Amino acid sequence: MASLSVSRHSHLLSGLLPARSKPTSGPTRVRMSLRDDGPSIAVVGVTGAVGQEFLSVLSDRDFPYRSIKMLASQRSAGRRITFEDRDYVVEELTADSFDGVDIALFSAGGSISKKFGPAAVDRGTVVVDNSSAFRMDEKVPLVIPEVNPEAMQHIKAGTGKGALIANPNCSTIICLMAATPLHRRAKVLRMVVSTYQAASGAGAAAMEELELQTREVLEGKPPTCKIFNRQYAFNLFSHNASVLSNGYNEEEMKMVKETRKIWNDKEVKVTATCIRVPVMRAHAESVNLQFENPLDENTARDILKNAPGVVVIDDRESNHFPTPLEVSNKDDVAVGRIRQDLSQDGNQGLDIFVCGDQIRKGAALNAIQIAEMLL
């Protein structure tokens, strides 16, 4: 049987940078691990890129648990995973997998979430789902712990009452980590976002293909194009999500709809253009903000310096600003290029540039922070 070990130094999952930042404090900080009074947890899609990152974050943050189930498709069942010096066998996901499970972390795609998420809830499990399956369901909280923790305050694990909580899309999380502190001060009326999204957003296979294509192109060979059906190495293209009748693609509309739900503001105007770039695992986003109330760049910079989960990299003299490589494998979202929007009068607008690790804060870390709030 194949064996899989949770490694901090996998070059594909680390974006070529082995070192991790210290875990951010976030809304809740727990310093425990395997213990009898912890919750029972399950990881669904454990062999995927985000599933593996779930395990890394659980370990990094010493999340308490009394038992953990490793769940995946029939194809992956039987594989062995080493986690925190213990060996586990991956089990095939079924509805019965959630008997006795307090918290289930899902990252196996929307169809799997739709099929098994409600089944888990019926068994008293609180499901934290990383897919888009339930994000726009009015009854399901869509949560970034630093932004809207109050949306899930009525849900706790271990009560026997199941529930669904949705993890927002990665690009939405990274954007709102930076935009929300400014929104709280000056109220955002309109937000224009351009994203530069990494291979990791399309999964481990896309990351592997980007690496393969890079080698092939450098060797003068035709690139292998299975994931995106086009050359990805040394290229960029409009995000591979389906294009809708309004001309926006699904990724762009996720940012529009999710921002309104998370901010509980149906009036905020949001537009986005999402681009796939040949970067391994961290997204970058250019964000233009128009405010109801004036906000100057120095005040904005101070606000962001004090925002949880945010680090400011804004050195104009040395032209040093956030890059995907610098935030790969890191918990914090980096913000820079903080400047007044010259096209707007009276300090009513700002431009910022944001980078964040798509697998970590854009997916796994955010989910684990949600799970911490359930304790």
CA dist., res. 207 & res. 60, Å (int): 23
Domain contains 25: no
CA dist., res. 249 & res. 245, Å (int): 9
In which band, very low, low, confident or very high, does the pLDDT at 36 lie, cut at 50, 70 and 90? confident
Mean pLDDT of the chain, nearest integer: 92
Read off the pTM.
0.90
The answer on pLDDT for 167 being more than 60 is yes
Average pLDDT over residues 5-18: 40
The 3-state DSSP class for residue 332 equals coil
Domain contains 24: no
pLDDT at 6: 52
Quote the longest CA-to-CA distance of the chain. Answer: 65
Of how many residues is the chain composed?
375
The answer on pLDDT for 17 being more than 80 is no
Q: How many helices (H) and strands (E) does the chain have?
A: 8, 16
pLDDT at 315: 98
Average pLDDT over residues 243-253: 96
CA distances, 191 to each of 75, 175, 241, 287, 336 (Å):
43, 10, 21, 7, 17
The two tokens of residue 34 are 């395997």
In which band, very low, low, confident or very high, does the pLDDT at 7 lie, cut at 50, 70 and 90? very low
Assign residue 82 the CATH number of its domain: 3.40.50.720
The per-residue b/e assignment along 215-244, b for 16 or more CB within 10 angstroms, e otherwise, is: ebbeeeeebeeebbeebbbeeeeebbbeee
The per-residue b/e assignment along 263-294, b for 16 or more CB within 10 angstroms, e otherwise, is: beeeebebebbbebbbbbbbbbbbbbbbbeee
Assign residue 333 the CATH number of its domain: 3.30.360.10
Cross-strand bridge partners of residue 127: 104, 164
Between 246 and 17, the more confident residue is 246
Domain residue limits at 155? 11-19+32-168+362-373
The answer on pLDDT for 127 being more than 80 is yes
Residues 345, 205, single domain; the answer is: yes
Residues 175, 221, single domain; the answer is: yes
Average pLDDT over residues 205-224: 97
pLDDT at 73: 93
Residues 279, 330, single domain; the answer is: yes
Q: What percent of the chain stands above pLDDT 90? A: 89
Residues 158, 187, single domain; the answer is: no
pLDDT at 5: 54
In which band, very low, low, confident or very high, does the pLDDT at 10 lie, cut at 50, 70 and 90? very low
- Beta strand 282-291 with 269-276 is unpaired
How many folded domains does the chain comprise?
2
Residues 140, 231, single domain; the answer is: no
pLDDT at 34: 83
Stretch among 8-12, 26-30, 205-209, 302-306 having the lowest mean pLDDT: 8-12
Domain contains 2: no
- Beta strand 349-357 with 86-89 is unpaired
In which band, very low, low, confident or very high, does the pLDDT at 30 lie, cut at 50, 70 and 90? very low
Residues 190, 331, single domain; the answer is: yes
Which residues belong to the active site?
170, 283
The two tokens of residue 171 are 């690009």
pLDDT at 22: 42
